[in-house]
Structure 1
Amino acid sequence: MTASESWFFAIAGYAVLLAWPISTLLLVWFAVRYVGTHRASVVNKAVAGGDARPQHFWIIVPALNEEAVVANTVNAALRLRGPAGTLARVIVVDDGSDDRTPEVLAAIDHPRLHVMRRELPEARQGKGEALNAAYRYIAERSAEAGSSPERVVLGIIDGDGQGSENILTEVSRLMRNSKVGAVQVQVRIRNRNKLLGAVQDLEFGAIVDACQNMRDALDTVGLGGNGQFSRLSTLLALGTAPWSSCLVEDLELGLRMHLGGVAIRYTSRASVTQQAVVDIRRLTRQRTRWAQGNMQCARYLGRLFSSPRIARTALVEMLHYLLSPWANAMVTVLVVAMAAAGATGLLVGHPVPFLPTWAALAESSVVWIVVTTFPGLLWALVHKHKRGDEGMPRMLIAALAYPAFLILGLTATFRALGRQASGRQAWAKTERLVEEPLAIAA
Structure 2
Amino acid sequence: MSASDSWLIVVAGYALLLAWPVSTVVLVWFALRYSGTHRAKTVNRSVAGGDGRPQHFWIIVPALNEEAVVANTVGAALKLRGPAGTLSRVLVVDDGSDDRTPEVLAAIDHPRLHVMRRDLPEARQGKGEALNAAFRHISRLTAEAGVAADRVVVGIIDGDGQGSENILVEVSRLMRDERVGAAQVQVRIRNRNKLLGAVQDLEFGAIVDACQNLRDALDTVGLGGNGQFSRLSTLQTLGSAPWSSCLVEDLELGLRMHLGGVAIRYTSRASVTQQAVVDVRRLTRQRTRWAQGNMQCARYLGRLAASPRVARIALAEMLHYLLSPWANAIVTVVLIGTGIAGLGGLLVGHPISFLPTWVALAESGGVWLAVTTFPGVLWALVHKRKHGDERTARMLTAALAYPAFLILGLAATYRALGRQASGRQGWAKTERLAEEPLAVTA
Where on the TM-score scale, by shorter chain, does this alignment land: which range? Answer: over 0.9
Confirm or deny: 8 A CA contact 1:60 1:93 kept in the other structure.
yes
- Give the Cα–Cα distance (whole angstroms) in 1 for the partners of residues 441 and 403 of structure 2: 42
SS in 1 for 2:200: helix
How far apart are the structure 2 equivalents of 1:41 and 1:303? 33
1:327-366 alignment runs, 5 A limit: 327-366=327-366
Superposed counterparts of 1:405-416, under 5 Å? 405-416=405-416
Is the contact between residue 58 and residue 153 of structure 2 (CA under 8 Å) also seen in structure 1?
A: yes
CA distance in 1, matches of 2:100, 2:47: 49
In the aligned structure 2, how far is the partner of 1:233 from the partner of 1:354?
60
Alpha carbon RMSD of aligned pairs, Å? 1.4
Q: Which residue pairs with 2:276 in the alignment?
A: 276
TM-superposed deviation, 1:29 = 1.4
State the distance in 2 between where 1:220 and 1:67 align.
36
Residue in structure 1 matched with residue 56 of structure 2 by the alignment:
56
- 1:156-305 aligned within 5 A: 156-305=156-305
Separation in structure 2 between the aligned mates of residue 72 and residue 204 of structure 1, nearest angstrom: 22
One of 43, 46, 59 as aligned partner of 1:44: 46
Check conservation: 2:35, 2:44, Cα contact below 8 A.
Answer: no
Spell out, residue by residue over 1:120-139, the C-alpha distance to the aligned partner (whole angstroms, 9 max, x if none). 11100000000000000000
Q: Cα offset for 1:344? A: 2.1
- Secondary structure of residue in 2 paired with 1:183: strand
Partner of 2:116: 116
Query: Matched residues in 2 for 1:349 and 1:120: separation?
Result: 65
Matches within 5 A, 1:35-184: 35-36=35-36, 44-46=46-48, 49-84=49-84, 86-184=86-184
Corresponding residue SS for 1:438: coil
- Aligned mates of 1:409, 1:7 — CA distance in 2: 30
Is the Cα contact below 8 Å between 2:36 and 2:43 reproduced in 1?
A: no
Q: Which residue of 1 aligns with 2:376?
A: 376
- Residue identity in the other structure for 2:178: S
CA distance in 2, matches of 1:217, 1:344: 47
Q: Residues 63-89 of structure 1: CA distance to partner in whole angstroms, max 9, x if unpaired? A: 000000000000100010011163410
Q: SS where residue 268 of structure 1 aligns?
A: strand
Question: Residues of 1 paired with 2:340 and 2:401: CA distance?
Answer: 25
Inter-partner Cα distance in structure 1 for 2:2 and 2:407: 30
Identity %: 82
CA distance in 2, matches of 1:258, 1:348: 55
CA contact (8 A) 1:80 1:87 kept: no
Q: Deviation per CA, 1:365-417, whole angstroms, max 9, x where unpaired?
A: 01100110000000000000001111101101100100000000000000000
Contact kept in structure 2, 1:63 and 1:92, CA below 8 Å: yes
The alignment's TM-score, normalised by the length of structure 2, stands at 0.97
Q: Is the 8 A contact 1:77 1:88 kept in 2?
A: no
Contact 1:36–1:209, Cα closer than 8 Å, also in 2: no
Secondary structure at the aligned position of 1:44 is classed as coil
8 Å CA contact 2:45, 2:217 repeated in 1: no
Q: Which moved more, 1:332-341 or 1:255-264?
A: 332-341
Q: CA deviation at 1:57?
A: 0.1
What does residue 402 of structure 2 align with? Answer: 402
Is this contact kept in 2: 1:81–1:165, CA < 8 A? yes
User: Residue 22 of structure 1 aligns to which amino acid in structure 2?
Assistant: V
- Shift of residue 6 of structure 1? 3.4
Quote the residue 2:324 is aligned against: 324
Distance change >3 Å, CA 431–CA 311, structure 1 → 2? same
Letter of the 1:275 partner, please give it.
Q
- Which residue does 2:6 correspond to in 1? 6
Residue 29 of structure 1: aligned partner: 29
Contact 1:206 1:379 in 2 (8 A): yes
Q: 2 CA distance for matches of 1:426 and 1:150?
A: 35
**Quick one: distance in 2 between partners of 1:291 and 1:331?**
16
Compute the TM-score of the two structures, normalised by the length of structure 1: 0.97
